[in-house]
Amino acid sequence: MSKRKTKRHWKSLEERNANPDVLKVLGDEFPPGGPRQFRRRDFLKAAGFTMGVAVTTGCTRAPIQRAVPLLSQPEEIVPGRFLYYASTCGGCNAGCGVLAKVRDGRPIKLEGNPEHPISRGGLCATGQASILGLYDAERLQHPLKDGKSSTWADVDREITADLETIRAERGAVRFLSGTINSPTTLAGIQEFLKGFQNSRHVVYDALSNSALLDAHEKTHGVRALPRFHFDKAEVIVSFDADFLGTWISPVEYTADYRAARNLETKHVSYHVQFEPRLSVTGSKADQRFAVASGELGLLLSHLAERVAHKEDSPFASSQMDAAPVKEAFLDELAERLRQARGRSLVVCGVNDVRQQILCNYINHLLGNYGTTLVLEKPSLQSQGSDRELETLLDELRKGEIKALFVYGVNPSFELPGGESLERDLQKVPLLVSFAQRLDETASLARYVLPEPHYLESWSDHESISGVASISQPLLHRLGETRSVAETISAWRGSPKPGYELIRETWRNNLFTRQKKERDFETFWERTLHDGFAEIETDAIGGKPFSIQSVQPIWRAERPEANSFSLVLYPKVGMLDGRNAYNPWLHELPDPITKVTWDNYVSIAPKAAARFGISDGDVVRVDTNAGVAVELPAYIQPGQHEQTLAIALGYGSKLSARFAKVGPQWIDALVSVGDKGVVGVNAVLLLRFGNGILEYTTTNVKLTRTDKQRELACTQTHNTLSVPKKLQPKGSGPRPVLQETTLAAYLKDPHSGVEDHEEKEDLWPTDHPYRGPRWGMIIDQNACTGCSSCVIACQVENNIPVVGRDEIRRNREMHWLRIDRYYSETDSGQIEVAYEPLMCQQCENAPCETVCPVLATVHSEDGLNQQVYNRCIGTRYCANNCPYKARRFNWFNYAHDDQLQNLVLNPDVAVRSRGVMEKCTFCVQRIQEAKIEAKRRGEKVSDAAVQTACQQSCPSQAIYFGDLNDPQSQVSKMMANPRRYRVLGELNVRPAVGYLTVVRNRPEEATKGSKEEHHG
């Protein structure tokens, strides 16, 4: 074993600062805190009597089971087999292509379409979880009028009559929606609004990119969002753009980003991130700097000045403030950018036009337009205009609007209007909402005309110019809903079903723009099969870059001494609040903080120390405008010292349903907050002014309140470290996560790897793997922590939702968890690495030897099997597992919602109380592949099996396959010099290997860690 000091990784500040109380708790997998004291004799008496009672309730004969076949079975439907249909995800505006797995006439799982140019096989957590929205009993089943159920005929009649009056009176009609990139719906809306003199379609995004679009209008004369190609970039500089997490099209960008970081070909990009809070993208950056949000503009100017200087371009910079980052670093960065001219990408995620123009300027100087940013074939994924929204809000305030149609957005929840906005909305005589559920805006609307879920209706998308995708229904509509296009066609007098409307648009507009197929029907069939079609588009005309638009920013907006600047951001699972109905996404631990079921104020450690705040203390954030919110605090290493960050999307009415989520027992804490909803809505802290939604505020005050709210955070659970009292003398911290730098890797590919030689096997003939032997490799360099694998596993394996209280007691049920480790560099920068951890399917499994009933045994293809019907719940196996990968069913998690049960995977058992469960390497998929191969008379092929997590990863970080096949990808990866095994020194011989994180840093591997605090 080398004497080199290994880099110390820690999961929480308590662990790092060696707080003895917490370390004690960390060591316990099942922390104490049981029911009140019960005297033993009373207990035995009660037990005896209960047994007597239980026996009398008695067993009866097995109930009669019926088998009801279809009356007329279509040829392709075989009960028990599934079919894949291509569709497009509607979880956000990115428009990733999906393949929906349909079983017995209903979709049960979504998978990314490998051929789709946006998703390329991956799908984000929101997309994976969006299938639950289909089987939601809270979706509206009928149109509502004034809160009461009505019929389509009635509402159509009344609304058309109202519209007639409005048309005659030349009243103002507005259609307010989010970004719509469905050509059919857009065409329908245009036609509809044409019938009114004073009408407009106002588009806004709750997570606005309006400044980016406006900036391009100023610099290039066209208001468009370029399509970013991160795979072509060798140097990526991001100014608070969370492109791997939540910005515009994260699945696409993650796949591209990954392609540009290929260690095998030594083609590794260099990524620098400047941001006020620690985001998912920042956690992957090679260099990350925490700067205040008000300093980003100044930083952009500094970088622009340097690049302009190198490119001999003018840039007025005489009186700029000093840069918040070392000048030497900026010089070096500018030089790297210049060397990678045309192959670099600078992105800015701040919704500020001046900063975006500076960013465009830098890209223009570097010649990136045309290669890494393509404006001619723009992205249509975000088209909102804050300016138009502001005008609309003005009109609402003045009461000028006679009819307002709201589609795909929830302005009452997403905009900082508060009660005055509610009043303004109620002033509109005809307020119609097309919401799927009764959200805040729909509650104010006179008519609610629910639209169907994207999996049960026809729709189309053109998310990127040139790629037209189709969304097809996979089951009959569950309820009397009607899509917006259908509703509009009904109001215009010629009601047509969605199918015909889509075909019409495609025949007239899209079929004509392609040359591959001559016949429309063939084109249509092929598109339905593929899920998308490539069509030609005209390049949008842009003007040459307008230098005059560039305005340097000379001053930084720093907060005063005891104040903070506040940043509002979307979380990976919740986005703008659209997923507030989804329990899976509430329970998904945030990639960075690992907090579930709540939002909170992130505060830097130094600032927390100054104010005497610890995790869970409720604090009050006051802005200058007199708005205040109270939220629990959470200490975030790596955040800028004078920055507070709060997540948007919480506090929604749609989350009131979680008042009773999880097992209900006497001492349970509720998952909702004081107001009966999960989290607190921070939207009042947004500022709307000058035509821009601002997500940052300066000079915000922080005060402690006396209240406390315990945050259900999973980061302190399941530690793989040995408690101090059990550590043998002279042992150091376990190298659970291994990393290195690119410089060290290029010198020696084994650098950073502390793998242990496999000791001699005591039982060499115990497990002869005659057939396939399943193994997995996780490339930690590719993993971005996006957690889509966690949700994919939850959907595939019927993993229950347990609620906040159970998570607080370490009882989350996710089979696959992503451990996030912090570490520090010598210069005090916080670095993050992710380690997805699931059952390692050990060959010498410690769990197999201790099960008293042999419920967990080793299979002949390398899996550690868990037999639920044999398990009696001793939990000795979980005790013995060094990876803490086993989950125990402490309760019978409720499956009362019959509609929601339709999403359950029929190939996986639903476990009852008292049974241990864990990752099975998707054994149901392995069995299916083996049986199909047997049916066809072939050997089971490695490529036929894809575990759910592997399939879903947008970054292709997981490899799975047959270790006994030397040609398989996973066998080759196992031979990769970067490969190590977590806790390899225990000689449990896991079947899962990990590839080290390689950070692209010019200097040598960093030494040890500093003991001081770094805020």
Shortest Cβ distance from residue 855 to another protein (Å)?
8
Shortest Cβ distance from residue 907 to another protein (Å)?
7
Q: Taking every pair of C-alpha atoms in the chain, what is the biggest distance, in angstroms?
A: 92
Residue pointed to by tokens 């648009």: 505
Please give the residues from 46 up to 85 whose contact with another protein meets the rule CB under 8 A. 48-49, 52-53, 55-56, 58-62, 64-73, 78-81
Three-state DSSP class for residue 776: strand
The H-assigned helical ranges of 612-670 are: none
Q: Answer for the pair 94, 88: CB distance below 8 angstroms, yes or no.
A: no
Distance CA 529, CA 113 (A): 11
Does residue 923 touch another protein according to CB under 8 A? Answer: yes
- Please select the residue that binds another protein; options are 2, 937, 967, 1012, rule is CB under 8 A: 937
Four-point Cα dihedral 791, 796, 798, 804, nearest 10: 0
CB-nearer residue toward another protein: 630 or 965: 965
Total residues contacting another protein by CB under 8 A comes to 50
Does residue 932 touch another protein according to CB under 8 A? Answer: yes
CB-nearer residue toward another protein: 388 or 907: 907
Three-state DSSP class for residue 995: strand
CB-nearer residue toward another protein: 933 or 983: 933
Shortest Cβ distance from residue 60 to another protein (Å)?
5
Shortest Cβ distance from residue 67 to another protein (Å)?
5
Shortest Cβ distance from residue 35 to another protein (Å)?
22
Does residue 967 touch another protein according to CB under 8 A? Answer: no
Distance CA 119, CA 467 (A): 12
Shortest Cβ distance from residue 905 to another protein (Å)?
11
Q: In this chain, which stretch among 334-342, 421-429, 622-630, 863-871 interacts with another protein, using CB under 8 A?
A: 863-871
Q: Answer for the pair 23, 11: CB distance below 8 angstroms, yes or no.
A: no
CB-nearer residue toward another protein: 72 or 265: 72
Shortest Cβ distance from residue 961 to another protein (Å)?
18
- Please select the residue that binds another protein; options are 867, 902, 944, 1005, rule is CB under 8 A: 867
Q: Answer for the pair 179, 382: CB distance below 8 angstroms, yes or no.
A: yes
- Cα atoms in the Cβ-side hemisphere of radius 13 Å centred on 192: 27
Shortest Cβ distance from residue 796 to another protein (Å)?
12
Three-state DSSP class for residue 539: coil
Shortest Cβ distance from residue 723 to another protein (Å)?
34
Shortest Cβ distance from residue 916 to another protein (Å)?
13
Distance CA 207, CA 210 (A): 9
Does residue 936 touch another protein according to CB under 8 A? Answer: yes
- Cα atoms in the Cβ-side hemisphere of radius 13 Å centred on 496: 16
Q: Taking CB under 8 A as the rule, which mask of x and - marks residues 833-862 in contact with another protein?
A: ------------------------x-xxx-
Three-state DSSP class for residue 544: coil
CB-nearer residue toward another protein: 68 or 975: 68
CB-nearer residue toward another protein: 669 or 857: 857
Q: Which two tokens stand for residue 133?
A: 């929205």
Q: Indicate the burial class of 632 (C-beta count within 10 angstroms; 0-12, 13-18, 19 or more).
A: buried
Distance CA 843, CA 783 (A): 25
Shortest Cβ distance from residue 945 to another protein (Å)?
14
Residue pointed to by tokens 């050997």: 939
Q: At what angle do helices 183-194 and 498-505 cross, to 10 degrees?
A: 100
Shortest Cβ distance from residue 53 to another protein (Å)?
7
CB-nearer residue toward another protein: 468 or 908: 908
How large is the C-alpha radius of gyration of the chain?
29
Does residue 476 touch another protein according to CB under 8 A? Answer: no
Sign of the dihedral through C-alpha 449, 454, 456, 457: positive
Please give the residues from 869 up to 888 whose contact with another protein meets the rule CB under 8 A. 869-870
Please give the residues from 263 up to 322 whose contact with another protein meets the rule CB under 8 A. none
Shortest Cβ distance from residue 948 to another protein (Å)?
14
Shortest Cβ distance from residue 80 to another protein (Å)?
4
Distance CA 921, CA 902 (A): 23
Does residue 762 touch another protein according to CB under 8 A? Answer: no
Backbone φ and ψ of 1009, nearest 5°: -135, 155
CB-nearer residue toward another protein: 572 or 991: 991
Shortest Cβ distance from residue 810 to another protein (Å)?
26
Distance CA 892, CA 612 (A): 41
CB-nearer residue toward another protein: 74 or 626: 74
Distance CA 386, CA 63 (A): 61
Shortest Cβ distance from residue 919 to another protein (Å)?
12
Specify the pairing of strand 617-622 against strand 696-708.
antiparallel
Q: Indicate the burial class of 719 (C-beta count within 10 angstroms; 0-12, 13-18, 19 or more).
A: buried
CB-nearer residue toward another protein: 851 or 995: 851
258-289 per-residue burial string, b: 16 or more CB within 10 A, e: under 16: bbbbebeeeebbbbbbbbbbbbbbbbbbbbbb
Q: Taking CB under 8 A as the rule, which mask of x and - marks residues 378-417 in contact with another protein?
A: ----------------------------------------
CB-nearer residue toward another protein: 164 or 938: 938
CB-nearer residue toward another protein: 72 or 765: 72
Please give the residues from 892 up to 921 whose contact with another protein meets the rule CB under 8 A. 907-909, 920
Q: Taking CB under 8 A as the rule, which mask of x and - marks residues 496-535 in contact with another protein?
A: ----------------------------------------
Distance CA 734, CA 819 (A): 15
CB-nearer residue toward another protein: 67 or 726: 67
CB-nearer residue toward another protein: 81 or 398: 81
**Neighbour count for residue 348 (Cβ, 10 Å):** 26
CB-nearer residue toward another protein: 79 or 723: 79
Shortest Cβ distance from residue 931 to another protein (Å)?
5
Distance CA 635, CA 738 (A): 25
Q: In this chain, which stretch among 567-575, 801-809, 813-821, 932-940 interacts with another protein, using CB under 8 A?
A: 932-940
Q: Answer for the pair 995, 776: CB distance below 8 angstroms, yes or no.
A: no
The H-assigned helical ranges of 552-626 are: 583-587, 605-611
Q: In this chain, which stretch among 41-49, 312-320, 641-649, 830-838 interacts with another protein, using CB under 8 A?
A: 41-49
**Neighbour count for residue 498 (Cβ, 10 Å):** 24
Distance CA 635, CA 13 (A): 8
Does residue 766 touch another protein according to CB under 8 A? Answer: no
CB-nearer residue toward another protein: 166 or 923: 923
Q: Answer for the pair 179, 381: CB distance below 8 angstroms, yes or no.
A: yes
- Cα atoms in the Cβ-side hemisphere of radius 13 Å centred on 69: 7
Residue 232 DSSP one-character state? G
Please give the residues from 604 up to 663 whose contact with another protein meets the rule CB under 8 A. none
Shortest Cβ distance from residue 926 to another protein (Å)?
8
Q: Which two tokens stand for residue 894?
A: 């409720």
CB-nearer residue toward another protein: 32 or 937: 937
Q: In this chain, which stretch among 45-53, 181-189, 717-725, 831-839 interacts with another protein, using CB under 8 A?
A: 45-53
CB-nearer residue toward another protein: 68 or 168: 68
Residues forming contacts to another protein in the complex (CB under 8 A) are: 45, 48-49, 52-53, 55-56, 58-62, 64-73, 78-81, 857, 859-861, 863, 865, 867-870, 907-909, 920, 923-924, 927, 931-932, 934-938
